Structure 1
Amino acid sequence: MSTTSANPGSRPVVLSDRQGFDRRWFAPNLEAVYVPRNDAEAVAQIDEAIGRYGRDVKITSGRHCYEDFVYNDTTRAVIDLSGMNGVGWDGGQAAYFVEAGCENWTVYRTLLNGWNKTVPAGSCYSVGAGGHITGGGYGLLSRLHGLVVDHLSAVDVVTWNASSNSAELHRVSASSPSQDEQDLFWALRGAGCGNFGVILRYWFDELPEAPEFASIYTLSWDWASVDQGSFADLLASYAEFVSIMPETDFSLLKLTHVSAGQLGMVLQAVSPPGVTVSDHRAEVEHRHTQARKRFGAIVPHAPSRHALGGHPGWTTTAVGSENVQHTTYLEALQTMNGSGHNQFGKYKSAYLNRAFPADQVAAIYKWLNITPVGLAAADMNQSLLQVDSYGGAVNRIAPDATAVPQRSAIMKLQYQTYWLNAARPGEGSRPPYDVQADAHLRWITDFYREVYAGYGGTPDPARDPSGTVAGAYFNYPDTALGTHAGGDVDRALRLYFLRNYRDNPRNLVAVKRRWDPADVFHHAQSIPLR
């Protein structure tokens, strides 16, 4: 049933407006939804919404936020950017553009089919560009082409003028006439998620040519063949593997919970420019043989019995196949693009600059073999630690050139746990479902804390003289790291942004103070004014 809206410019609220992609998040007190279709409507509707609801206005593009920054009890109005979903080339601006409401799959297909271009973005097809890009944006081409923010030339953003109490549209870039606008552009390249304004559009003077060919393969191992020693050897070999593999390759090691029966690795290799299909295939087949030899010497390979889960890449090569799947680039996009099911989930992240230390390996092995009290083993078969290859072109950018400071990492980690039940929207944390949720949350929290026990329970580089860990990823937010309500938001934001948070001459706190002095754009982990 819809709720009639009395606010001009908004539309009636329906049940799906209240629900995030993660079913944990729900906005029971939502009163208005604004769906602008162009810049003028966006400015007018943002002006009206903030004038009416203040900080209780939230912004969404794809609804994939890992925490309740948009969908929570305080949210009374949502600016839904799904109506601004254009992608293309603007001849007048001589630049490509991606609007904030566009989703990954549409961005990829439109750029590829129209101009043979691509972006090194993520592989969850329904993630919205608005939050994905401004949070950094990485994916299976990032070792070859860096982060999406490394390619940005300008951003159209609506900010709130606290002096005039009105919304204002700006196009900001590194060549903007004012230093303030240049600083805002810098901040939006990695830290714009709900912090400074409402992003409407991204601009790119140049984009990478799309690869012509791609190849995908999966390696799988039965948990029954893995003991603590071989597990340690597997992780050590993987760290070496990602350090030497070509930048055209991107791998995802899926360290699944033992209840899944198998763990495995997915790798995508794309063709360099000018390489023939036969040469590309021959080279990837050779590297596939080498990879099977490398890892098979540690744990015997086994045909995959089911698709490897987790984000990204829910769909991989055919179950049971141990061969390389050779495709066009478009087919590879279709194969690797998956957002998973709408269910309940919790996530944590970390960066590693070098191989896993022994204490981390022991903790990972331990927790992948633990089933929380109150859950059956089958309840954990979607839980995992995913270890993505990283580095390459990402690490050729200076830590302070964008808001993303992690420019030395060779691996990026995402801790994930999922569950599903019959709860109706908004009731997933109520009895009797709270028991299941608490068990999953307790498992992933204790898992993470023990892995990083040597640094105080988080991957804090300030407490790591060895230089192994490098903080966490802002686009994988984790409120357990700290919040405004808990009085410890600095702890989280320092892990996300390191010295870019408040220590460097150009820093996020200063940009926030200049562009949002009323703290209108606020959530549990938003940049503070001081």
Structure 2
Amino acid sequence: MKEVLCILFIVILSVSDAKVTKQNIENFLKCLRCRTSPEYPITEAIYSPHNSTFVSSYVSYTKNKRYLNPNDKNLIAIVAAKHESHVQATVVCAKSNGIQIRIRSGGHDLEGLSYISSLPFVILDMHNLRSITIDVSTKKAWVQAGAILGELYTKIAEASKTLAFPAGVCPTVGAGGHISGGGYGNLIRKYGISVDHVVDAQLVDVNGKILNRASMGEDLFWAIRGGGGASFGVILSWKINLVEVPEILTVFKVNKTLQQGATNVLYKWQIVSSKLPQGLFLRAMPDITNGEKSGDKTIAVKFFAQFLGSAKTLMEIMKKNLPELGLKREDCYEMSWLNTTMFWANYPMGTSTSVLLDRPSDPPGAFYKGKSDYVKKPIPKKGMKKIWKTMLKFNNVWMQWNPYGGVMDQIPANATAFPHRKGNLFKIQYFALWIDANATDANLRLMKKLYHVAEPYVSSNPREAFLNYRDVDVGSNPSGETSVEEAEIYGSKYFLGNLKRLMDVKAKYDPENFFRYEQSIPPVLAM
């Protein structure tokens, strides 16, 4: 039966992937204008390659220079939607003319999948849909998909000194994609991830209808919380629960080089970081730094912490659990939750929090590549030394070792579509950055080497990966095809045991697979 479904699936794809002609493109643009009302005209939201502002609109939310291509002949237009009806029109008109869409909220997609395709496509840019409403009395908020985290954090802090939201530390990340992929942040050990606090959503489905939790049903609502919204529709907004934090939190940053015993401290960190009090998040970040001699390089591990409490209490916890770090009282800074978001974004002390509202519009200045892993038992010191040796071959690479434990050990793997819960000590993000385009191939090779060196020490069968740290190396399909077998490869890594349910939901709500991209979920009914 499954084989029959797959054959039917391939037939459906062959029909929907018919060649896009010039007439299709013209019809698409005409359709856009016809389907929006005079009250909310779409004309000013459409940027085509013939517009003088097309390039600036394209580069504003293109973060990775590896995928910067404003002359892409497959890019028909950018629709920077200014009203919900613009999103509806784009979906309906693209579907009826056989044109793919790519949905971009903040543009932080590590592989550029939200703004590239090898087939004719349109970018549906959500950055204008960015309203945020806070209700302190119910501790809830609505946030539109195009709002960035810095805007959300600022709005929350303006409304309350003791409310927060568990999400990422980069202030320019868009809420739409970040939350739909899970939403990992420094409140994870106390409050879990972003999707654990989503209580409603608005989504434009494949028929152009706006659905909320009640009208979409619990299956689809489950899927978009961690399964990636772009496989199922266009997220318009999220309704979220806010969480309680103290008026004063404590942060610190302490560096240890290899010569200062970083490997020993980090080994101990692996044992204790997931068992610390839930209010303490202690990240370890191995990085390349200058050695003691001129021209030498070494590894420094930066330990970043955030504690929901006072510096005095934090010092007591660290002295008891990780005295090897040598934390001193002068390393600790007490501040409001909003100011901790500045600390994590590496702004200098004293910088105005108004920078959290900045949306950089300049072209991307760097090329980068990211990968991810989950670790379930401590990496031995000999393994860490192999990792350091490989890292030192780069010019600029770092890793984030992000602790688990706390409430993540208590939330079932199938509570949302995000499955990476109990049993993890920490999650790794690998990140290489370079400026020279000629260095791209060398850096990509080194990243594969680093990933290979780490393989014996991380999760296996499958080797797990985090959807928000997009990585096409773990499997991908071409823009115009969706092999179920290939989707099961990357899908099993991103979603583990939740993949079958996700494919079933996809088959129910988007059976013709309109919402697809290189790592989307295929519509296959569960057997």
Q: Tell me the TM-score normalized by structure 1.
A: 0.77
Question: Quick check: 1:124–1:338 contact (8 Å CA) kept in 2?
Answer: no
Q: What does residue 502 of structure 2 align with? A: 508
Q: 1:413, CA displacement in angstroms? A: 0.6
Quick one: which of 69, 76, 91 aligns to 2:113?
Answer: 69
Q: Aligned residue for 1:442?
A: 445
Describe the shift of the 1:90–1:47 C-alpha distance in structure 2 as closer, same or farther (beyond 3 A). farther
Q: Contact conserved, 2:103 with 2:115, CA < 8 A, in 1?
A: no
1:275 paired residue number: none
Counterpart of 2:430 (choices 370, 394, 415) is 415
What secondary structure sits across from 1:218 in the alignment?
A: strand
Q: Deviations over 1:194-237 (max 9, x none)?
A: 21000001113x321243111111121233445xxx62x33320
Aligned to 1:37: 82
Say whether 1:129 aligns with 2:127: no
Find the aligned partners of 2:154 and 2:473 in 1 and give their Cα distance: 36
Q: CA contact under 8 A between 2:274 and 2:426: conserved in structure 1?
A: no
SS at match of 1:471: coil
Identify the residue that residue 6 of structure 2 maps to in structure 1. Answer: none
Distance 1:92 1:115 in 2: 10
CA contact (8 A) 1:459 1:495 kept: no
- Say which of 337, 341, 344 aligns to 1:336: 344
Secondary structure (helix, strand or coil) at the match of 2:96 reads: helix
Q: What is aligned with 1:384?
A: 398
Residue 138 of structure 1 corresponds to which residue in structure 2?
A: 184
2:265 counterpart letter in structure 1:
L
Structure 1 residue identity aligned to 2:249:
A
Match of 1:16 among 56, 59, 62: 56
Q: How does 1:233-248 map to 2 (within 5 A)?
A: 233-248=264-279
Partner of 2:130: 85
- In percent, how many aligned pairs have the same letter? 25
SS in 2 for 1:326: strand
Q: How many residues align?
A: 446
Q: Which of 237, 246, 268 is equivalent to 1:201?
A: 237
Which amino acid letter does the alignment assign opposite residue 68 of structure 2?
F
Instruction: Report the equivalent of 1:51.
Output: 96
Shift of 1:256: 1.2
Paired residue for 1:270?
308
Which whole-Å CA distance do the structure 2 matches of 1:111 and 1:253 have between them?
A: 28
Q: 2: distance between equivalents of 1:236 and 1:170?
A: 48
For 2:488, the aligned partner's letter is D
> Any stretches of 5+ residues in structure 1 without a counterpart?
162-166, 272-279, 304-320, 372-379, 422-427, 463-469
* Pairing of 1:171-186 with structure 2 (within 5 A): 171-172=212-213, 176=214, 181-186=217-222
Q: Is the 8 A contact 1:383 1:416 kept in 2?
A: yes
Contact 2:267 2:381 in 1 (8 A): no
> Which residue number corresponds to residue 376 of structure 1?
none
Displacement of 1:338 = 5.3
Give the number of the structure whose residues are more often helix, by fraction: 2
Aligned twin of 1:313: none
CA distance in 1, matches of 2:516, 2:137: 35
State the one-letter code of the partner of 2:106.
G
Shift of 1:94: 9.4
Amino acid at match of 2:435: L
Are the equivalent residues in 2 in contact too, given 1:257–1:383 (CA < 8 A)? yes
How far apart, in 1, do the equivalents of 2:137 and 2:389 lie?
58
Deviation at 1:17, TM superposition (A): 3.5
CA distance in 2 between partners of 1:262 and 1:358 (Å): 15
Does the aligned pair in 2 maintain the 1:288–1:324 contact within 8 Å?
no
Matches within 5 A, 1:313-324: 323-324=331-332
Cα-to-partner distance string for 1:211-268 (whole Å, 9 max, x where unaligned):
3111111121233445xxx62x333201122033111111221111363663321111
Secondary structure, aligned partner of 2:65: coil
Out of 206, 210, 216, the position equivalent to 2:251 is: 216
Instruction: Give the structure 1 partner of residue 467 of structure 2.
Output: 474
Aligned-partner residue type, residue 237 of structure 2: R
User: Residues 217-366 of structure 1 correspond to what in structure 2 (within 5 A)?
Assistant: 217-226=252-261, 231=263, 233-257=264-288, 259=297, 262-271=300-309, 280-290=310-320, 293-296=323-326, 323-337=331-345, 342-357=365-380, 360-366=383-389
Seen in structure 2, the aligned counterparts of structure 1 residues 384 and 244 have a Cα distance that, compared at 3 Å, is same
How far apart are residue 49 of structure 1 and its match? Answer: 3.7
Show the counterpart of 2:521.
Answer: 527
Amino acid in the other structure paired with 1:65 = D
* CA drift at 1:135: 0.4
Q: Which amino acid aligns with 2:429?
A: Q
Give the whole-Å Cα distance in 2 for the aligned partners of 1:246 and 1:68.
37
Q: Which amino acid aligns with 1:23?
A: K
In 2, Cα distance between equivalents of 1:331 and 1:16: 31
Instruction: Return closer, same or farther for 1:474/1:37 CA change in 2, 3 Å cut-off.
Output: same
Structure 2 letter corresponding to 1:528: P
Give yes or no for contact 1:219–1:322 (8 Å, CA) kept in 2.
no
> 1:450 deviation in Å?
2.3
Mark the CA change 1:365 to 1:159 in structure 2 (over 3 Å): closer, same or farther: same
Report what 1:406 is aligned to.
420
TM-score (norm 2): 0.78
The corresponding residue for 2:487 is 489
Asked whether 1:159 is paired with 2:205, we answer yes
By how many angstroms is 1:419 displaced?
0.4
* Contact 2:143 2:175 (C-alpha < 8 Å) held by counterparts: yes
Give the letter for the 2:109 counterpart. Answer: C
Deviation, structure 1 residue 460: 2.4
Specify the SS of the correspondent of 2:517: coil
Q: Does the 8 Å contact 1:256/1:383 carry over to 2?
A: yes
Query: Could you say what secondary structure the match of 2:488 adopts?
Result: helix
Q: Is the 8 A contact 1:60 1:79 kept in 2?
A: yes
| Secondary structure at 2:469 match in 1 | coil
Q: Secondary structure at the residue paired with 2:176?
A: helix
Describe the shift of the 1:395–1:37 C-alpha distance in structure 2 as closer, same or farther (beyond 3 A): farther
Letter in 1 for 2:209: E
Q: Are the structure 2 counterparts of residues 282 and 129 from structure 1 closer, same or farther at C-alpha, using a change threshold of 3 Å?
A: same
Which of 499, 511, 519 is matched with 1:517 structurally? Answer: 511
Letter in 2 for 1:133: I
Distance 1:392 1:48, change over 3 A: same
